[in-house]
Amino acid sequence: MATPTTFPVHRTQIAGIPISHLAETFGTPTYFYDSEKIAERVNDLKKFDVIRFAQKANSNIAILDFVRRQGVLVDAVSVGEIHRAVSAGYQLNGTPSPIVYTADIFDRDALDFLRKNPVHCNAGSPEMITQLGEIRPNAEITLRINPGFGHGHSQKTNTGGDSSKHGIWHEQLPECINRAAAAKVKISGLHMHIGSGTDFEHLSMVCASMKSTALSIGPSITTISAGGGLPTPYRESDKMIDIDRYFEIWDATRKELETAFHHPICLEIEPGRYLSAESGYLLSEIRAVKKMGDKLYYLVDAGFNNLARPIMYGSYHPISISHRAANDSNVTPTVEAIVGGPLCESGDIFTQEEGGFVCSRELPAAKVGDFLIIECAGAYGFVMSSNYNSKPFAAEVLLHEQTPYPIRERQTNEDLIRGEKIPSF
Ligand SMILES: Cc1ncc(COP(=O)(O)O)c(C=O)c1O
């Protein structure tokens, strides 16, 4: 059932722990993740045979370890992500594959690694079939198909259609079948991910395409993956997706294939955002409250070096305020404020729309020293961090059963120059 979401603009605690305590202990900017929310989202998806976390959304090894303990498998888009998964306790292979490598190319690093390590591969380009056959004869492979259309919450997260580089173009399927036969590679699965923020209208088209593609390949198919793309609420007007309906549509497709092939088909789902977005809070401190003409700015100590979604996609994140002084009331008047960061870049604004249009937000009146929390920041948050302006990466903390566990130290200025060298001319 779709349930309404509420995002308070005042907050005194995160996952039951006072913000003043968190800020004092860990400093700002810091990412906090509420493990209970992740577990709740995993639980929503339990009807699928395999939940495979698209770790690109949040690849801290503590998060991977946590989802692994919940029975979730993992997707990796690079050797670095495989390394993370293994460090978090995932085995390299097994049935179903604990780790799947999904990419549009094998870079040299990946080929080298996969030659020696039997991680299952999900190919996004026809060449990968031939290349896998060369390093691993008799391998099984999954094909990521681009069905010719896509959908996303922004043009940059649309991963289908001819303006996307992702996946194998649906019309190239006969070529792929020939390549697989020549390379002695068995096509054992199909995968479709047409973008983030999928809706039901597109879903029935994806399922129809999945069915016809699987039937063209035949009974070697034992797995189908629904990909990721499940939306999560970022605004109060956003509703939770109806997971039961989503599952039923995929389950019907799976059953049709089981009838056609006379064997079980494993149904996977591969969410990133859905599992981790709502768990994440980026805690920052307001360091300036200033007026520019008629406009009021809250400038905080987190910037797009910490959370790039607003500058990249014009993404909206809920924002709340936590007053530092204990006697500051939680019913302070609201003001229209623009929230910006510390970077020497005019796009360093958290309240902006796609295209870079700066907008203001109705927020509680706040002072320097108060805390500002950017919410729903657990997916595509920390993982997109940069050291722009030589700002160290933020710390990360997992909140589990009312206890904060540090899961990443804040970078130091020494970390920033590690690996750099001044040549001796
Ligand atoms: C292949 C694949 N699977 C899963 C995902 C996860 O998408 P989301 O975070 O929207 O669930 C992505 C995102 O880009 C993807 O490319």
Q: Ligand 1: does its nearest atom lie under 6 Å from the Cβ of 233?
A: no
Percent of residues, the chain, with pLDDT higher than 70:
95
Would the CB of 274 count as within 6 Å of ligand 1?
A: yes
What is the whole-number distance in angstroms between the Cα of residue 320 and the centre of ligand 1?
A: 28
- Euclidean distance between CA atoms 160 and 147, whole angstroms: 7
Report d(CA 11, CA 14) in Å as an integer.
8
First to last CA, the chain: 68
Could you count the other beta carbons within 10 Å of the beta carbon of residue 2?
Answer: 12
Compute the distance from residue 195 Cα to the ligand 1 centre, in Å.
7
- Sign, CA dihedral 274-6-320-234, equals positive
Ligand 1 proximity of 268 Cβ (cutoff 6 Å)? no
Pocket test for ligand 1, best of 196, 206, 276 (most atoms within 8 A of CB): 196
Q: Give the residue, out of 45, 193, 198, 274, with the most ligand 1 atoms within 8 A of its beta carbon, to mutate for a pocket test.
A: 193
- Would the CB of 152 count as within 6 Å of ligand 1? no
Q: Is 58 in the pocket of ligand 1 (CB under 6 A)?
A: no
Asked which of 46-50, 148-152, 350-354, 402-406 is least confident by mean pLDDT, the reply is 148-152
pLDDT for residue 2: 52
Q: Would you place residue 1 in the very low, low, confident or very high pLDDT band (cuts 50, 70, 90)? A: very low
Provide DSSP, 358-421.
E--EEEE---TT-EEEEES-SSSSGGG---GGGPPPPEEEEEETTEEEEEEPPPPHHHHHTT--
Q: Are strands 395-400 and 223-225 parallel, antiparallel or unpaired?
A: unpaired
Distances from the Cα of 6 to the Cα of 85, 105, 239, 330, 370, angstroms: 33, 41, 10, 17, 22
Does 57 contact ligand 1 (Cβ within 6 A)?
yes
Q: CA-to-CA distance for 108 and 364, rounded, in angstroms?
A: 52
Instruction: Record the tokens describing residue 392, joined without a space.
Output: 């160290």
Q: Which residues contact 16 (CB under 8 A, 6 or more apart)?
A: 399, 402
Would you state the pLDDT for residue 194?
81
Domains of the chain in sequence order: 46-270 (3.20.20.10), 279-411 (2.40.37.10)
pLDDT in tens, 152-193: 666 666 677 788 899 999 999 999 999 999 999 999 999 998
Of 121, 176, 266, 344, which one is the catalytic site residue?
Answer: 344
**Whether pLDDT at 213 is above 70:** yes
Across 146-155, 168-177, 295-304, 344-353, least confident range? 146-155
* CB atoms near residue 424 (< 10 Å): 4
pLDDT tens track for 372-421: 999 999 999 999 999 999 999 999 999 999 999 999 999 999 999 999 99
Handedness of CA 300, 302, 305, 308 (dihedral sign): negative
Both structure tokens of 293: 């003409």
Q: Which token pair is 22?
A: 């968190």
What residues contact residue 255 under an 8 Å CB cut-off, 6+ apart?
A: none
C-alpha neighbours within 13 Å on the C-beta side of residue 388: 17
pLDDT tens, residue by residue, 97-134: 999 999 999 999 999 999 999 999 999 999 999 999 99
Q: Is 344 a catalytic residue?
A: yes
